[in-house]
Chains A and B, each alone.
Chain A
Amino acid sequence: MTESLNKFPGAMWPQFHRKNDEHLNPYYTFQDYRQTWGMTIFILMMTALLPLVVMTLIYYQLIETSINTESLLRTERLASNARRAVTFFLEERLAALTFTVNEMGYDQLTNPGHLSEVLRNLKLGFGGLTDLSVIADSGTQVTYAGPFNLEGKDYSNQPWFMECQQHSACVSEIFSGYRDVPHIVVAVKSMRPDGRLFVLRATLETERLIQALSSYKTGEHADIFLVNRNGLLQTPSQFYEGESHHMNIPLPAYSDRTRAVMSTDRNGQPILIGYAFIDTTIAPTSFLLMVVKQKAGMMKVWLDLRSNINWFFGVSALIIAIVITLTSTVMVNQIFQADRQKAETMVAAERNCQLASIGQLAAGVAHEINNPLALINETAGYVKDLFTIKQQYKEDPDLLEHIDSIIDAVERCGTITRQLLGFARRFDVQNQPIDLNEMVADVINFHKKEAEYRNIKIHVDIPETIPLIETDRGKLQQIILNLVNNAFQAIANGCFLDIRAEMDGPEHVRLFIRDNGCGISEDHLNKVFEPFFTTKKEGQGTGLGLSITYGLVQKLHGNITVQSKTGQGTTFVVTLPVQIKKESQS
């Protein structure tokens, strides 16, 4: 569990380690695996998420448009119904007055007893009437029926009276009047028998109108009220009463039919306004019916749903993103690993090829040099023969020493050419079972004296469990000898040499030869197996030891690697098959 937790950051943010891998760069398929990884994720995300986002946005747009249309329609319907109620309220009362004035005539109406009876009948029939009075064309009240004694009052300056002069009937705005009680005056004009005009006036209670309007209110965010054409509130408004009883939202433009529009309130909140200019068939009025709804309230259901959809969308997108990231990471990582293996194989193949061609060259050089060497050897030998035979020179040790040094030099060159050929040639491998422990002990024996003399500790740890290895004795001996030689040259007196072995799977054995000597610098580490590469002083090494070792290990179908740190020591790791397969031999 913890292991998979530790792997998680790597799976989400892979490293694509390329440190110390610069030599592999030419063989990678992609220059920048992080960029490839990023691009893959980006393209997959876009392909998966973009259509989803676009679809969701279109869906939101459609839903919002349809909700807006529906809300406007509903607001308009509500305003229309309320308008009908208000219009009916006024028309009913105007019609009753018109009927009364035509039926009774001036004489009967000016009779206070009759007028009181009419008032009583009207109250019974319709209700909501406070008083009734007859006013002469001069504006003076002639007869009054009702709870207040207003006889003789002059109405000539009242706006409703002046309007009534022009039309056959009139409806006043809601005003407080002499009694300081909000009311509406409705009046109907008629003719006296003498041809002069008179007006039958009734006062209506506003309570009934307000109640009628309130009954249309739906929801807590809706408001229905009346204003006059200047925006002065006629009935109370729950939310939109501003300064000096004016409503605080803009007055809509005139329209002869009910309409609904979108707007914003003074706080900038979106609202829906349904409105209607109210006119009765008998008389015009100055009323404007307003139905105002807060859009937020109407959208609440949709907003809740949208929030749920957003959550669902967000979680889905997150899951898609994680899946895409993990999948891409795994895929790109696999490509990277495969590429890396390929690159390593290519580099190894290139090095083998290089080593092989250098080997061929070396073989050629060795052959060519060998003939003159042989000739020099024979000539020098001949000269030596001559000197040895002639007594006078035989006594001259100086001369013979020089000749001997020539022959020595030839011998040394001969050794080098033999080594070169050994490196280049493909000797047949002769397999036999070998006890690694015994072989290492044999090789160590060669160096026992030197180790004692130089106080070098040799530690060998080859477990009993290591099986017999079927391989070529001579070559394996040469490999171990070369590596031990190499280590002895690298370490100072008093250091140690550690040789150990372990199984690498059931079919391979790994042999570690570790010293704590001078180490190999990072620059040189890649070159140690190249022929003629040496850091030793001239004349001390041919630079062939490790490349021959490399060739020998390859011949035994094994593998040799080196790890080293300057100043800390070097470890050569030789991996060999327990049994060389027959087919790979051929």
Chain B
Amino acid sequence: MKHFDILIVDDEQRYADMLAKRLGLRSLTCKVCYDGQTAIDIVGEEFFSVVILDLRLPDLYGTEVLTWIKQCRPETTVIILTGHGTEKDREQCMARGAHSFMNKPLDIDRLVTIMTGIKESYRHD
């Protein structure tokens, strides 16, 4: 069975940490980083099953990071988690290969359900 590692990319540090803790409690191990470039670096070095990505990052646009990840690590699933994203954002992200698009404040149960689905699909692979 492959490792199921998760990376949370969000400029709001406390939010990212808190989300990591909550997912940790649900047996989902997470790494966190707080800007786009670090995220690209980490993803370049290491394989992550899922990246939870914010669209508003201090240095890069979330969509740029998404494009990069999908180019270099096509197997990695990207879930966009943003403050109110527009319909346009959603369409763009989905077109660039995002798995799903979620708005803050987050419904943790929904996220977990999605994760479980992804995990299941990994297991089948």
Contact A374 B83 (CB under 8 A): yes
Contact A428 B87 (CB under 8 A): yes
Give the most central of B83, B86, B103: most A CB within 10 Å. B83
Within 8 A of B (CB), among A329-383: 366-367, 370-371, 373-379, 381-382
- With a cutoff of 8 Å between Cβ atoms, the chain B residues found around residue A427 in the complex are 86-87
Contact A421 B84 (CB under 8 A): yes
**Given contacts A377-B106, A389-B25, is CB(A371)–CB(B12) below 8 Å?**
yes
Q: Does A128 contact B (CB under 8 A)?
A: no
Secondary structure at the A interface, as helix, strand, loop or mixed, is helix
Contact B106 A374 (CB under 8 A): yes
Q: Does B15 contact A (CB under 8 A)?
A: yes
| Interface segment, one of B16-24, B33-41, B45-53 | B16-24
> A366, A378, A411, A414: which contacts B15 (Cβ < 8 A)?
A378
Q: Does A234 contact B (CB under 8 A)?
A: no
Q: Does B2 contact A (CB under 8 A)?
A: no
- With a cutoff of 8 Å between Cβ atoms, the chain A residues found around residue B15 in the complex are 371, 374-375, 378
Contact A375 B12 (CB under 8 A): yes
Q: Does A425 contact B (CB under 8 A)?
A: yes
Alpha-carbon distance between A371 and B25 when the two chains are bound, in angstroms: 23
Contact B87 A378 (CB under 8 A): no
Q: Does B123 contact A (CB under 8 A)?
A: no
Contact B105 A373 (CB under 8 A): yes
Q: Does B124 contact A (CB under 8 A)?
A: no
> B12, B21, B86: which contacts A374 (Cβ < 8 A)?
B12
Alpha-carbon distance between A381 and B106 when the two chains are bound, in angstroms: 10
Alpha-carbon distance between A469 and B2 when the two chains are bound, in angstroms: 55
Q: Does A476 contact B (CB under 8 A)?
A: no
- With a cutoff of 8 Å between Cβ atoms, the chain A residues found around residue B19 in the complex are 378
**How far is the CB of B86 from the nearest CB of chain A, in Å?**
6
Contact A381 B108 (CB under 8 A): yes
Alpha-carbon distance between A386 and B84 when the two chains are bound, in angstroms: 28
Alpha-carbon distance between A248 and B24 when the two chains are bound, in angstroms: 139
Q: Does A221 contact B (CB under 8 A)?
A: no
Q: Does B104 contact A (CB under 8 A)?
A: yes
Contact B105 A377 (CB under 8 A): yes
Contact A371 B83 (CB under 8 A): yes
Give A44-87 as 1s and 0s: 1 = Cβ < 8 Å from B's Cβ atoms.
00000000000000000000000000000000000000000000
Contact B104 A373 (CB under 8 A): yes
**How far is the CB of B92 from the nearest CB of chain A, in Å?**
13
- With a cutoff of 8 Å between Cβ atoms, the chain B residues found around residue A389 in the complex are 25
Q: Does A418 contact B (CB under 8 A)?
A: yes
Nearest chain B residue, comparing its CB with the CB of A430: B87
Q: Does B3 contact A (CB under 8 A)?
A: no
- With a cutoff of 8 Å between Cβ atoms, the chain A residues found around residue B108 in the complex are 378, 381, 385
Q: Does A578 contact B (CB under 8 A)?
A: no
Alpha-carbon distance between A374 and B104 when the two chains are bound, in angstroms: 6
Give the most central of A378, A386, A418: most B CB within 10 Å. A378
**How far is the CB of A415 from the nearest CB of chain B, in Å?**
10
Give A268-282 as 1s and 0s: 1 = Cβ < 8 Å from B's Cβ atoms.
000000000000000
Q: Does B110 contact A (CB under 8 A)?
A: no
Alpha-carbon distance between A374 and B102 when the two chains are bound, in angstroms: 12
Q: Does A228 contact B (CB under 8 A)?
A: no
Within 8 A of A (CB), among B93-125: 103-106, 108
- With a cutoff of 8 Å between Cβ atoms, the chain A residues found around residue B105 in the complex are 370, 373-374, 376-378, 410-411, 414
Alpha-carbon distance between A389 and B21 when the two chains are bound, in angstroms: 13
> B22, B84, B103: which contacts A378 (Cβ < 8 A)?
B22
Contact B18 A382 (CB under 8 A): yes
- With a cutoff of 8 Å between Cβ atoms, the chain A residues found around residue B86 in the complex are 425, 427
- With a cutoff of 8 Å between Cβ atoms, the chain B residues found around residue A373 in the complex are 104-105
Contact A381 B22 (CB under 8 A): yes
Within 8 A of B (CB), among A375-418: 375-379, 381-382, 385-386, 389, 410-411, 414, 417-418
**How far is the CB of A367 from the nearest CB of chain B, in Å?**
6
Residues in B lying within 8 Å of A, measured CB to CB:
12, 14-15, 18-19, 21-22, 25-26, 83-84, 86-88, 103-106, 108
**Known contacts A376-B105, A414-B104, then 6 further A-B pairs from the complex at CB < 8 Å, ordered by chain A residue:** A374-B15, A378-B106, A381-B108, A385-B26, A427-B86, A428-B88
10 shortest A-B CB distances, which residue pairs?
A: A377-B105, A374-B104, A378-B18, A370-B83, A421-B84, A374-B105, A385-B25, A375-B15, A414-B105, A382-B22
- A/B interface sample: 16 pairs, CB < 8 A: A366-B84, A367-B83, A370-B83, A370-B84, A371-B104, A373-B104, A375-B14, A375-B15, A377-B104, A379-B18, A381-B18, A385-B22, A411-B105, A414-B103, A427-B86, A427-B87
